[in-house]
Structure 1
Amino acid sequence: MTDILDELHWRGLIALSTDEEALRAALAAGPVTYYCGFDPTAPSLHIGNLVQILTVRRLQLAGNDPLALVGGATGLIGDPKMTAERTLNDRDTVAGWVERIRKQIEPLLDFDGPHPARMVNNLDWTAQLSAIDFLRDIGKHFRVSRMLSKETVSARLGSEQGISFTEFSYQILQGMDYLELHRRYGCVLQTGGSDQWGNLTSGVDLIHRVERRSVHAVATPLVTKADGTKFGKTEIGTVWLDPEMTSPYAFFQFWMNADDRDVIGYLKVFSFRDRDEIGSLEQELVQRPAARGAQRALAEDVTSLVHGADETAKVVAASRALFGMGALEELDAGTLKAALDEAGAPELQAGEELPTYVDLFMSAGLVDSRSAARRAIGDGGAYVNNVRLDPGTAADARAQRDELLHGRWLVLRRGKRTVGGVEIGPA
């Protein structure tokens, strides 16, 4: 590997740093112990958090020692948002989220190699800390004028909502985390998103004041989309790492749908492909954009990282089968349901007799009218479960219950590319 900072720059992963030349020297003399924090403010991490986890992994692969902090303490407060106060969650809820998030991070780092990762929880050093000790030992090193200058704090102060002392104090807690990890493990580098820069530098300043030592911070840029919409959001909401909150099929499709203008940048950030591989995919994108080879490589890489190779294989099989390039009958019920949910398949109630094929195509949104459904069938371009409907007889025919996949679903297709489906309730 090239110098790790050069690699991170090439991947577009350094937006801000405290003293890059000093950090470069420290990394060259390595190994460096570093950390990144993740707050349990939801039951799952999302793909924005994945930027940080994979940056931690890149530094680990370069021969450094990572600490992954899941904030059992800071998660009880929550990092201040630009808009309004966070809803405070109870202790049992946050403790449960800590364990869920630990399990999401662990498969993405190496805990057994020459530079094993270590999971830490900031509740371990804050739970027994009294308010008086916190104010005397930590709070006295923070200057209110500097705290007020933090972007999120200043934005909230000027808003109608204002900011509570609880959220205002968050940067002190994060600074204390860095100090504690520096004392316990010799940690000298913290990474995080650029929106966390004020919190990152709080720790750097605190260690300098208390220990009289210089440490480092590096911030990654916020990932953006070329069309101006928010990265990591879809019509159904946030793209989560938890398969129960975002199915592996929907997760895969999010990456497959990446804009041509974005996909190479995403490959650099979210995959471990090297410069030559990404360069080849970029060339293919220019020469054959319709093939979507870069998007497919991205989707397969990231889905395999998060959900595993077996789950990715199921998703790929489902994607192919929906478009007539594989056997729908071989898909398990969960994967088929996820694929049809992503296609927007409605659930229909039916008695002993199922709707006509014309009505099914209307219900699935594949045509605008009954006459359009009849034309699609009559022209030989209508398929149910990848079987072409008879142009001469199917327009007035009804679907049969023995056609239902797993007793519940029909996959409908108009032409080669327009896919939908329906879920039929019990009689």
Structure 2
Amino acid sequence: MMKSKIIFRNIYNKFTKFSCEKGIKFYPFYDGSYHNISIRCFTKKIEDNVIEELKKRGLINALTSSDIINRVKNQTTIYCGVDPTAPSLHLGNLLTLIGLLHFNVRGHRTIALIGGATGSIGDPSGRNTERQPLSFSMIEKNANAIDNQIRKIFINGKKYALRRGFKIRDELDVIILNNLKWFQKMSALELLNDIGRYARVGTMMARDSVKLRMENTGGISFTEFSYQLLQAYDFWHLHHYHQCQIQLGGSDQWGNITAGIDLIHKKKTDSIKTTTESLETTENTNAFGITIPLLLTSTGEKFGKSAGNAIWLDDKMTSPYEFYQYFMKLADADVEKYLRMFTILSMEEIDQIVKTHMKSPEERKGQEKLASEITEFVHGVAGLQKAQLATRVLFGDSLENIRGHDLIEAFLHDSQRLTPIHRNEIVNRTIDRVAVAAGACKSRNEANKLIKVGGLYLNNQRVIEPHHKVIEGDLLDGAVCVIRTGKSNYHLIQVID
């Protein structure tokens, strides 16, 4: 057995060294006995250096080594991870997914790792308090939802990139994995032996995520203290079994990423020692980390559900319209920065958009382009069309040529604006009664006061007659009508039979 293992290690090291020198990728596959070994080799040069591109866009906070710039000249594998602590990802997660997309559209392999195991522990990075634990059933439910969400986003992202001139290879679809697959089989003794013995408590204590918590009166639990070990093992597992060489994460993940690189180096060194190989081959660890800037609010707070300011990527939690409007409301000073970070438009296109925008900033052309690009990436063309339709309706445009069913679809999950009401409570009823039924007014008296001052609208047309009755002709496609009070309080009535 030991002889077979040494033979395999010799082959592995020789091909590793050759691949690094010649820019060739190889993949060893073997069964547990090391008796059956097969190796695939191919060369894939990448013309467009993704690291340089990310730097131009302000998407790099730090690199663990400048050697990564040369490494990405050839095809490699990169991953980013997310813990399923909510049923949806949010805008704060989107930058890492966009980072993955930049690698993917340039010919690199990409992995999205869902933390089905680590999600039950809780990452202390960037937090002042310990997370409330979730049940395993809730974590599993969230993990399945996020799995589907990532798949959908990358399907949309692939189409989005194709429409912008990128040539996408079908075999380079994002790979989605769940770390529960390897951790659920690991005993406490295996964890201590395979991971714990390579960790040094002093190093772990020195990480920012731990130091900040130790300064608080509540301190940090052993559970959260150990989180960095599990994320480190994730990187080692993906490096060992999926030839993953790069981990991408937010700037608050620096300590966890470097812990993974340390573990990869130490386990490889240890493995080489046990097979009596030369330690010079540890040069080929080839594990790197990239951190991207954290997305902060205008007050400097981190985006996320715990901060209470999350913009969700799930259209049932944040509608495409609300998502679109978030970017439409951006300050002019942020337009160029966000166009660089959140889109894959060329730098030349972005420069031209910014120049056009600054000539007439009141027209908000820059925000409109930004909102369109990001909404299409996350929600697809159909989602963008819903957002644009909703914007037309809610900003006072004529409802002429708008189909009622399209309007309902645009607001389908917006329970604050869309109210289903039975037809006999709408048709041939006075507008003041309908306004109360829709929740636009608290009373008929309030509705009539608004009519007198010109503040009540039906389908964006001012209501003049207090006794006006809603008729079938007021219903778009016999299915929906729009009540507005004041300048911006909209209520849509979905007419049901």
Structure 1 residue 91 corresponds to structure 2 residue 140: no
Q: 1:151 & 1:223 partners in 2: Cα distance?
A: 19
| AA in 2 matched with 1:326 | L
Q: 1:420 & 1:234 partners in 2: Cα distance?
A: 29
Residue 172 of structure 2 aligns to a residue in which SS?
coil
Q: 1:24 & 1:152 partners in 2: Cα distance?
A: 28
Pick closer, same or farther for the CA change 1:359–1:122 going to 2, 3 Å. closer
- In the TM superposition, 1:13-412 aligns within 5 A as 13-20=59-66, 22-28=67-73, 30-80=74-124, 82-109=127-154, 113-211=170-268, 212=282, 213-226=285-298, 228=300, 231=303, 237-322=309-394, 323-327=396-400, 330=404, 331-336=406-411, 341=416, 354=430, 356=432, 363=440, 373=450, 376-377=453-454, 383-390=457-464, 394=465, 396-397=466-467, 400=470, 402=472, 403=474, 410-412=482-484
Tell me how far 1:325 sits from its aligned partner. Answer: 3.5
Tell me how far 1:228 sits from its aligned partner. Answer: 4.7
C-alpha contact 1:358 1:374 (8 A) present in aligned 2: no
TM-score normalised over the length of structure 2: 0.74
C-alpha contact 1:357 1:399 (8 A) present in aligned 2: no
TM-score normalised over the length of structure 1: 0.85
When structure 1 is superposed on structure 2, of 209-218 and 33-42 the one drifting more is: 209-218
C-alpha contact 1:66 1:116 (8 A) present in aligned 2: yes
Q: 2:440 & 2:321 partners in 1: Cα distance?
A: 23
Q: 1:141 & 1:247 partners in 2: Cα distance?
A: 46
Residue 356 of structure 1 aligns to a residue in which SS?
helix
Q: 2:103 & 2:189 partners in 1: Cα distance?
A: 38
Residue 72 of structure 2 aligns to a residue in which SS?
helix
Give structure 1 stretches of 5+ with no counterpart: none
Q: 2:137 & 2:91 partners in 1: Cα distance?
A: 25
| AA in 2 matched with 1:13 | L
Q: 2:102 & 2:494 partners in 1: Cα distance?
A: 47
Residue 291 of structure 2 aligns to a residue in which SS?
strand
Tell me how far 1:72 sits from its aligned partner. Answer: 1.4
Tell me how far 1:143 sits from its aligned partner. Answer: 0.9
Pick closer, same or farther for the CA change 1:133–1:357 going to 2, 3 Å. closer
| AA in 2 matched with 1:88 | P
| 1:243-299 Cα deviation digits (max 9, x unpaired) | 111112211111211221212211111111111211111112211111111111111
Q: 1:370 & 1:326 partners in 2: Cα distance?
A: 22
| AA in 2 matched with 1:246 | T
Q: 2:343 & 2:97 partners in 1: Cα distance?
A: 12
C-alpha contact 1:74 1:122 (8 A) present in aligned 2: yes
Tell me how far 1:348 sits from its aligned partner. Answer: 11
Q: 1:131 & 1:231 partners in 2: Cα distance?
A: 34
| 1:78-117 Cα deviation digits (max 9, x unpaired) | 2115221112222222122211111111233369625343
| 1:35-85 Cα deviation digits (max 9, x unpaired) | 111111111111111111110110122221112111111112121152211
| AA in 2 matched with 1:70 | I
When structure 1 is superposed on structure 2, of 136-145 and 356-365 the one drifting more is: 356-365
Residue 378 of structure 2 aligns to a residue in which SS?
helix
Query: Could you say which residue in structure 1 is the equivalent of 2:29?
Result: none
Q: 1:188 & 1:258 partners in 2: Cα distance?
A: 36
| AA in 2 matched with 1:49 | N
Pairs aligned (count):
411
- Root-mean-square deviation (CA, aligned residues, Å) is 3.4
Pick closer, same or farther for the CA change 1:205–1:185 going to 2, 3 Å. same
Which of the pair has more CA radius of gyration? Answer: 2
Pick closer, same or farther for the CA change 1:228–1:376 going to 2, 3 Å. farther
Residue 317 of structure 1 aligns to a residue in which SS?
helix
C-alpha contact 1:196 1:219 (8 A) present in aligned 2: yes
Tell me how far 1:18 sits from its aligned partner. Answer: 0.7
